[in-house]
Amino acid sequence: MKISGTYLFASCSLIATLFLAGCGEEEVAQQVEVVRPVKTLVVGGGDGRSTREFPGVVDATQKADMSFRISGKLESISVKEGDQVEAGQVLANLDPTDLKIILADRKASYDTAKANFNRAAKLVKKGHISKTDYDKLKATYAGAKAGLDSAEQDIKYATMKASFAGYVAKRYVENFEEVTARQTIFSLQDISSLDIKVDISENLMIRAKRNKNKRHLYAKFNAIKGKQFPLTIKEISTQADEKTQTYQVTLNMKPPENYRILPGMSATVIANMEGIEQTGSDWVNLPVAAVISNLEKQGTVWLVDETSMTVSPLTVETGALTGRKVAVMGLNLGDRVVIAGAAFMREGMKVSLLETGEQAGQ
């Protein structure tokens, strides 16, 4: 079949036009810049106040390990774990059989020594016995009296009573067991008031003002959404922990009426840090997903430049892992950090912000 030159030229021109048009569309598509939405947080950001969060542990304001002061066999246990007890309430008793035998023996020795001493007191006045013999009988009498008092006291020690009102947190023995003196039988806790203990870094402690009463402190719990509970400072340790080089601060909290907060539970302490000079040298707690870390404890986080809305990497030092957060050092106050999808970031990538309401804790 013959194809005319004019027809062939028109066909080629059409194909070329379509091809070039396709290439132009591809180039336009390639020029469209992808903007990735990201979740972020601002170091030290939030509601305009300077606040930080510290992990804490709840503890009883008053607690004691209850034990007998003598050895013996348990005869009865009057309470169980979780029971509320009053001050002076009987918790347990030892079998007093052997103690009563000892008491009877000491009583007999005492009666004899007392009678001998009374006779000697009359005889020494008349000169029928020497002063030396009298002093010996007097010493025997005093020793017998001390022995009797000790046996009577042991009978009392065979009954364990609560030192204060509280709850039986733990029982460590079963009834009819042989127990030794000072062996822990119960743990007793007073939870009418609660303590929360937190550890503060030395570089933060050194910048804190001594006027502790003006500091606003609150506790929050993961299981209690949207609620914060006021705290007051109870004690501040002035001796650093040898291993962590942190200082323990004990805070006091009134137990909430509608929630059961118990010793050992985890809490987050929110502190208003106004009046404390802040630097970028503090440890900051970030979500684990925000940090790409290697075996040398060097990590990378991605910072958002809010002017250009692009991201750039920053090398940081990583520290302790607490729950779903990791401590990092090297960030400055006001840095906006990507907290999700860090592994997919590349330098200069355009991003848009998603509202999260999160804040880094230091």
Q: Are 317 and 283 in contact (CB under 8 A)?
A: no
Domains present along the chain, CATH in parentheses: 36-48+280-360 (2.40.420.20), 52-61+192-272 (2.40.30.170), 64-184 (2.40.50.100)
The pLDDT-based confidence of 139 (bands split at 50, 70, 90) is very high
Dig out the tokens for 288 from the structure: 């684990």
pLDDT reported for residue 20: 46
Averaged pLDDT for residues 291-308: 84
- pLDDT at res. 44: 66
Q: How far apart are CA 12 and CA 354, in angstroms?
A: 51
Whether the per-residue pLDDT at 127 is higher than 80: the answer is yes
> CA 292, CA 313: separation in Å to the nearest integer?
10
Q: What is the mean pLDDT of the chain?
A: 84
**Weakest-pLDDT range from 112-121, 171-180, 231-240:** 231-240
Helices (H) and strands (E) in the chain, counts: 4, 22
DSSP string, 178-240: EE-TT-EEEEEEEEEEEEEEEEEEHHHHTT--S-GGG--EEEEETTEEEEEEE-EEEEE--S-
CA atoms 66, 70, 73, 77: torsion sign: negative
For residues 54 and 361, the answer to whether their CB atoms sit within 8 Å is yes
Q: Helix, strand or coil for residue 278?
A: coil
Tens digits of residue pLDDT in 324-341:
778 788 888 778 999 988
The reply to whether the predicted model has a pTM over 0.85 is no
Residue type, position 345, single letter: M
Q: How confident is the model at residue 46 (pLDDT cuts 50, 70, 90)?
A: very low
3-state secondary structure of 9: helix
Instruction: Report the SS3 class of residue 247.
Output: strand
Residue recorded with tokens 């008491």: 103
> Which of the given ranges, 41-55, 115-129, 194-208, has the highest pLDDT on average?
115-129
Provide the pLDDT for residue 201.
79
Contact present, 45 and 339 (Cβ < 8 Å): no
| C-alpha–C-alpha distance, residues 286 and 301, integer Å | 10
Amino acid identity at 326: V
Cα–Cα dist 355/360, whole Å? 14
DSSP string, 129-167: S-HHHHHHHHHHHHHHHHHHHHHHHHHHHTEEE-SSSEE
Tell me, what's the pLDDT at 205?
Answer: 76
pLDDT by residue (tens digit) across 21-40? 555 544 544 555 678 999 98
Whether 58 and 220 have beta carbons less than 8 Å apart is answered as no
- Which pLDDT does position 286 carry in this prediction? 86
Per-residue b/e over 200-230, b at no fewer than 16 CB within 10 Å? bbeebbeebeeeeeebebbbebeeeeeeebe
Banded pLDDT at 49 (limits 50, 70, 90)? very low
Angle formed at CA 361 by CA 355 and CA 362, multiple of 5 degrees? 145
Q: To which residue do tokens 């364990």 refer?
A: 160
Which residues lie closer than 8 Å to 150 by C-beta, 6 or more apart? 106
Q: Is the pLDDT of residue 281 over 90?
A: no
Cα(190)–Cα(272) distance, rounded to whole angstroms? Answer: 29
Query: How far apart are the C-alpha atoms of 167 and 85, rounded to whole Å?
Result: 6
Q: Which residues pair with residue 58 across a beta bridge?
A: 196
User: How many whole angstroms separate alpha carbon 348 and alpha carbon 333?
Assistant: 22
| 64-101 tens-digit pLDDT | 999 999 999 999 999 999 999 999 999 999 999 999 99
% pLDDT > 70, the chain: 79
